[in-house]
């Protein structure tokens, strides 16, 4: 009986996700159809060009994120240190940060003990969370990326000085298609949560509206087998 409930729950979840996807993709397609009609009747207009391209890239973004969520690549776990990953992510996002007057600071403390993980997936999580941190700061500021160890866990901290997350929105955090951004997909956090759960880790969020947000990713440290 328990298994049946589980299957029913899974089906409900798949249905919810499918409805979300259908809705999110139908919106830009409906808009595109409208613009196509107008352009056909009244001829091209510069302003419409940009909007049409934006709608196309929105569909593309949603599909790219969904494909990542489906994770076609099997996980490749090994012992990795997190500090190099943090530096990679900071380098990758440097241009985007500078564009928004955001400075990325890295601080690491303690000897870097390895974590048993798929490094490309953890990098994906870091990229998503750091990108969100940058995007949360309308007027620039500092994003701090921290790596340290605490008890038996490796801890990654992404702290911003952005808009923060209200208690109401906190409830929906990580659910698909929950976005407050014009060009957002609301799939990034869901992917982060799925990856970290897969690694037997957890994500803790602390936020204060108007002050900033910290996402803390905690992963179990890799222990060498006793010799």
SS percent in the chain: helix, strand, coil, step 5 = 50, 20, 30
Question: At its nearest, how many Å lie between Mg ion and the CB of residue 188?
Answer: 3
Contacts (Cβ under 8 Å, ≥6 apart) of 117: 77, 78, 80, 199, 219
> Binding to Mg ion by residue 132, rule CB under 5 A?
yes
Residues in 33-92 at the binding interface with Mg ion, rule: CB under 5 A: none
Assess contact for 159 and 120: CB atoms under 8 A. Answer: no
Q: Which is nearer to ligand ADP, 47 or 182 (CB)?
A: 182
How far, in Å, are 21, 62, 200 from residue 173 at the CA level?
17, 17, 19
Nearer CB in complex with ligand ADP: 80/158: 158
Q: Which residues contact 39 (CB under 8 A, 6 or more apart)?
A: 45, 48
> Should residue 213 be labelled a site residue for Mg ion when binding is judged by CB under 5 A?
no
38 vs 18: CA distance, rounded Å: 30
Check residue 188 for interaction with Mg ion (CB under 5 A): yes
Nearest approach in angstroms of CB 143 to ligand ADP is 9
Q: Closer to Mg ion by CB, 83 or 185: give it.
A: 185
Q: Which is nearer to ligand ADP, 64 or 75 (CB)?
A: 64
Q: 82 to each of 79, 117, 134, how far by Cα in Å?
A: 10, 10, 20
Query: Is the Cβ of residue 83 or residue 185 nearer to ligand ADP in the bound state?
Result: 185
The CB-of-153 to ligand ADP minimum distance in angstroms stands at: 21
Cβ count within 10 A of residue 48 = 16
- Site size for ligand ADP, by CB under 6 A? 21
Q: Is the Cβ–Cβ distance between 97 and 131 less than 8 Å?
A: no
CA atoms within 13 A on the CB side of 9: 6
Mark residues 92-131: x for contact with ligand ADP by CB under 6 A, - for none: ------------------------------------x---
CB of 223 to ligand ADP, least distance (A): 32
Binding residues for ligand ADP (CB under 6 A): 128, 132-133, 136, 160, 162-165, 173, 178-181, 184-189, 213
């Amino acid at each position: 009986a328990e298994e049946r409930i589980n299957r029913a729950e899974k089906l409900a979840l798949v249905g919810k996700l499918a409805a979300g996807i259908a809705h999110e993709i139908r919106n830009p397609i409906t808009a595109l159809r409208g613009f196509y009609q107008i352009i056909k009747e009244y001829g091209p207009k510069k302003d419409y060009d940009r909007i049409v391209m934006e709608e196309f890239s929105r569909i593309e973004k949603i599909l790219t994120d969904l494909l990542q969520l489906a994770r076609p690549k099997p996980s490749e776990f090994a012992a990795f240190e997190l500090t190099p990953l943090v530096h990679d992510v900071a380098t990758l996002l440097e241009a985007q940060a500078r564009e928004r007057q955001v400075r990325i600071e890295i601080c690491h403390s303690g000897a870097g003990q390895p974590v048993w993980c798929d490094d490309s997936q953890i990098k994906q999580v870091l990229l998503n969370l750091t990108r969100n941190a940058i995007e949360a700061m309308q007027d620039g500021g500092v994003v701090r990326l921290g790596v340290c160890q605490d008890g038996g866990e490796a801890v990654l901290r992404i702290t911003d000085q952005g808009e923060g997350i209200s208690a109401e929105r906190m409830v929906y955090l990580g659910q698909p298609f929950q976005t407050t951004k014009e060009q957002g997909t609301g799939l990034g956090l869901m992917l982060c949560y799925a990856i970290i759960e897969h690694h037997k880790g957890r994500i803790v969020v602390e936020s204060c509206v108007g002050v900033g947000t910290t996402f803390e990713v905690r992963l179990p440290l890799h222990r060498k087998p006793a010799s």
